[in-house]
Amino acid sequence: MTLRPAFLVLLLTAASIVELKAAPFSTDFSVSGLVPVTWASDSPTLSHLGLDILFGFEYASPISVPLRLEAGYINVTHSGISPSGELYRGWEGGRFALLSGYSFAPFPVGTLGNLGFSLLAGGALTAADYTGTALAYAYPSFILEPRLALTFRGLRSRNLEQGPWLALPIELMFRSGNHTLSPGLSLGWSYHITESR
């Protein structure tokens, strides 16, 4: 006798839900300052300024491999002007990302709390429009993000921990014939829901 595919999917989903309830996860919000640099094959390399506001949901697996979902808003100004008078338009839009990586074991920082380091990588999809126009488009990107996170001891409740984090995201965007490399500095605040004690 063979298992029907629908039954197998249902069984795996139920097992995942049971595991999720037993494992810690966190939610967070962050603001990033960005310095994107755009280039094209027949155009100059020019820099922008930008802002990213994100909300995240992160599942911390028992084997230190987090799974992170992000949704947010990005706004980038038009670039500087080249000596020949060229520039790249600014853009704004909604961004969705899926990241994973490795979280190293946190270590104590005196009586303040615990400091952890994680290295994440993944992809994003952004739906945007050029500033001041009705021209809409979408673009994919790759992300690499090292992060330091501090969990305060004094703000811990029975199964909720919280604290700030600092990250240095680097995103490579593939935008309608242009490429943009966007390093940034992110400041965030996380709420970690842990197993009940």
80-113 per-position pLDDT tens digit: 999 989 999 999 999 999 999 999 999 999 888 9
Which token pair is 42?
């027949």
Residue 6 lies in a domain: no
Residue 178 lies in a domain: yes
CB 87 within 8 A of CB 76: no
Question: 122: domain CATH number?
Answer: 2.40.160.20
**SS3 of 14, please?**
helix
Instruction: Please tell me the pTM assigned to this model.
Output: 0.82
Listed range (1-10, 69-78, 103-112, 128-137) with the worst mean pLDDT = 1-10
Listed range (2-16, 41-55, 58-72) with the worst mean pLDDT = 2-16
Residue 5 lies in a domain: no
Q: What are the beta bridge partners of residue 185?
A: 33
Long-range contacts of 106-113 (CB under 8 A, 24+ apart): 106/149, 106/151, 109/150, 111/153, 112/150, 112/152, 112/153, 113/150, 113/151, 113/152, 113/153, 113/154, 113/163
What's the pLDDT score for residue 46?
A: 97
Between CA 173 and CA 98 the distance in angstroms is 15
- Give me the mean pLDDT over the 46-69 stretch: 93
Instruction: Give how many domains the chain has, as a whole number.
Output: 1
Q: Return the residue matching tokens 């980038």.
A: 76
What's the pLDDT score for residue 41?
A: 86
CB 106 within 8 A of CB 123: no
Residue 163 lies in a domain: yes
Domain holding 149, by residue range, is: 24-193
What's the pLDDT score for residue 195?
A: 60
Residue 4 lies in a domain: no
Residue 99 lies in a domain: yes
What's the pLDDT score for residue 161?
A: 85
174-186 per-position pLDDT tens digit: 998 899 999 999 9
Q: Which helix (H) or strand (E) holds 9?
A: helix 5-22
Residue 19 lies in a domain: no
Residue 60 lies in a domain: yes
